[in-house]
Structure 1
Amino acid sequence: MSEDQLPPPPQADWAYFLDFDGTLVDIAPRPEAIRVSDGLPERLSAFSLAADGALAVVTGRSLADLDRHLALPQVAAAGVHGLELRGGSRPDVPDRAPVKQALTKVRAAAEQLAALHVDLRIEDKGEAIAVHYRAAPDLGPEVARTLAVAVAEAGDLLTLLQGKMVVEVKPAVANKGAAVEAFLEDAPFAGRRPCFIGDDVTDEDGFRVCNARGGISIHVGPPGAVTEARYRLASPAAVHDWLAQLLDRERRTAS
């Protein structure tokens, strides 16, 4: 990635896939403590209309959690890294019973950690489990080691992700790239140039899918990140400004 290469202006005929935490909102010490900026839901709704509905929020949060913050049930979305989909074809997912059984051991390991370290926070998404250690950064290696043992016992059913002050365990079949592929199978996303915007390791699968399809991949954050994204925006505020370019053009054209 060129560290200082800004993306081209957004176009109405692209398909947009936006991460949530760290991309549309600033990361907070706890997932429930994020602040949605004034007017963001309205701007996203307007942007979706400008793109003829080809906008989806693709997040590790559950859809129920996402809706509590954005309240945009009419906008397409993928939750829990694509295990939950609204507005697209669901990816093929094998029998979930073994995965859920394997997650019980991960859940037990996470709860034991939280009992020992009160600064850890468990985010149980039902079909994925995240342990946040932002309040205790030194515990990151211990959290990763402990959960890695439980993941190893599950064979190839689960995978472990290390993000920004969080370690997450999810089904191996679930990733944001697969969610993007599923959306691109159907209208209004099909046939459009895909654009994925994200800030963390879980977004790399989305970048890879967009790159393979000749699309736009945008990493959010300071320069120097190791990423497959081809462009960069500095912050969620910069993402908002970039998206606003399309709305501004639409308003000028209409006036």
Structure 2
Amino acid sequence: MTVATKINALMRCALDDISLFLDLDGTLAPFTDTPEAVGPDIARNALIRNLAMRLEGRLAVVSGRPIADIDRILEGVVPAVAGSHGLQRRDARLDMIVAPIHSGVAQARQEIAAFVRKYPELHVEEKPLSVALHYRAEPTLEPVVDIFAEDLARRTGLKLQRGVMVIEFLTPGMDKGRAVRAFMVEPPFAGTRPVFVGDDLTDEDGFRVVRSFGGIGVLVGGLRETFADYRLGNVDAVHHWLARGLQTECLELETAIEPSYRRI
């Protein structure tokens, strides 16, 4: 098997050599005012289905959304999925692994509901193993949300996960990186070189883990401090890159992360 090479900052990965891990929101699907507004897209889902088939199942979606919601948006075209930041995982054989819910989640739901009554611009996203508080509609509330979130996480024992204009209260114990690691020791992923594509702070765990397997992280969006190696500009650029890779049998990138932004 050939391996990915870098020549003058060029990344080249033959599809036969890799496993592909993809975030959903901000990577495969654009952000909307509320998470519920994201829905199926015929062209995108056909592309992902064809990629999964070409990779012989070595494609997994790794998202903060619950698996049921991922399946709704992608119309079930991807068998291997990690949801809720890895707290739910469906392997390539369709076996499900689900973490037990933390006792603090119920308290968090109650206190967040009361908090949102004071700030109706906020949006609550209920998940099976967690609850998320979005402030996309009013970014100026970030300092208030942050203070509330730190206190609530401390009192409930929940993991506090920050994202793009969202703070999530999670059952502790998993993250996207650990989910990727679990996939990488199982067939059909084992023995391949992982490529992880994501946009959010939660994807940094994935970037860090694929690096430990000799893999490559691809950041989507604006340049920031990151464990990723390369960058794509937006969701449309991701779709174009994947479609071209399917056509040419090879994923290629030229925009390497500048050394000053690379986390070690």
Asked if these proteins are the same fold (TM beyond 0.5), I'd say: yes
- Aligned to 1:39, what secondary structure does the other structure show? helix
Query: What's the CA shift for 1:35?
Result: 5.3
- Structure 1 match to 2:219: 219
Q: Equivalent pairs: percent with the same residue?
A: 39
- Give the Å deviation of 1:42: 0.9
**Considering only aligned residues, what root-mean-square deviation do their CA atoms show, in Å?**
2.1
Tell me the residue number matched to 1:154. 156
Which region of structure 1 is more displaced relative to structure 2, 241-250 or 165-174? 241-250
| Aligned positions, number | 240
Q: How does 1:182-201 map to 2 (within 5 A)?
A: 182-201=182-201
Q: Does 1:70 align with 2:74?
A: yes
Q: Larger RCO: Structure 1 or Structure 2 (Cα < 8 Å, ≥ 6 residues apart)?
A: 1
Q: Deviations over 1:164-184 (max 9, x none)?
A: 111111122120011001111
Amino acid at match of 1:8: R
Whether contact under 8 Å (2:48, 2:78) holds in the other structure is no
Per the TM alignment, residue 13 of structure 1 is displaced from its structure 2 partner at its CA by 2.2
Output the CA distance in 2 between the equivalents of 1:221 and 1:163.
14
Q: Runs of 4 or more off by more than 6 Å in structure 1? A: 89-92
The answer as to whether partners of 2:175 and 2:205 remain within 8 angstroms in 1 is yes
- Structure 2 gaps, min length 5: 1-8, 250-264
The offset of 1:92, in angstroms, is 9.2
Please show how residues 20-169 of structure 1 align to structure 2 within 5 Å.
20-34=24-38, 36-87=40-91, 96=100, 99=102, 101-155=103-157, 158-169=158-169
What residue identity is the alignment partner of 2:161? L
Counterpart residue type for residue 228 of structure 2: A
Give the TM-score normalised by the residue count of structure 1.
Answer: 0.87
Find the residue that maps to 1:12 and give its secondary structure. Answer: helix
Conserved? CA contact 1:6–1:231, under 8 Å: no
| Counterpart in the other structure of 2:253 | none
Distance 1:233 1:36, change over 3 A: farther
